[in-house]
Amino acid sequence: MIELTTQMDQLVKQQHWMDAIQFAEQNSELLLTSFNTSWNTGWAYFKLNQHSDAIPHLQRACSIAPASYSHVAYWALGVVWMELEKYESAEKCFLKSVELKSGHLNRTMLAFIYLLTDRTDEAERIHLEGLEEKRTQERLESYADFLGATGRVEEEAIILLEAKEAPQEGKKYTPEGSRR
């Protein structure tokens, strides 16, 4: 089973989306038990703009994810719901993701949902809470983007200057399940 999961990981790493989906279908037992396979299949469908097909795979990934990756599964499902303009569902996923493990990407996506739904104060609160946790380059740049999008260009410029001196966020999760 580990060998099959590794093959699936490689297909996704190489961005062979259709091959990854076909491989998962041929090894359907992996879809029921393997977080990586469910996540990778959902992500492959997402990358092919087949968002509705991605949902059941990412929902399964959420339900079987090891604790250390649950936040990633909810983040990915939130991204799909956002693409489908199902903002309430996306918000729920991003909130769950942040609850499980607060990070730059899930906080930024939650703030973006708030902006899309005209909840500017909530979007800013999410950014500021993230900055209280860690003042990293990525978080500061996201907050600066928010400030620029809301017409606060002078504040944006100040935050961008601070971002240049701030440390990087850290390691990122990649679709194939490895960390870089």
pTM of the model: 0.87
Domain of residue 110: give its range.
102-169
- The answer to whether the CB of 1 falls within 8 A of the CB of 30 is yes
- Chain-centroid distance of CA 58 in Å reads 11
- Full pLDDT tens readout for the chain, 180 residues: 678 888 888 999 999 999 999 999 998 888 888 999 999 999 999 999 999 999 999 999 999 999 999 999 999 999 999 999 999 999 999 999 999 999 999 999 999 999 999 999 999 999 999 999 999 999 999 999 999 999 999 999 999 999 999 999 875 544 444 333
149 in the same domain as 75: no
Helices and strands, number each (H, E), in the chain: 11, 0
CATH of the domain at 121: 1.25.40
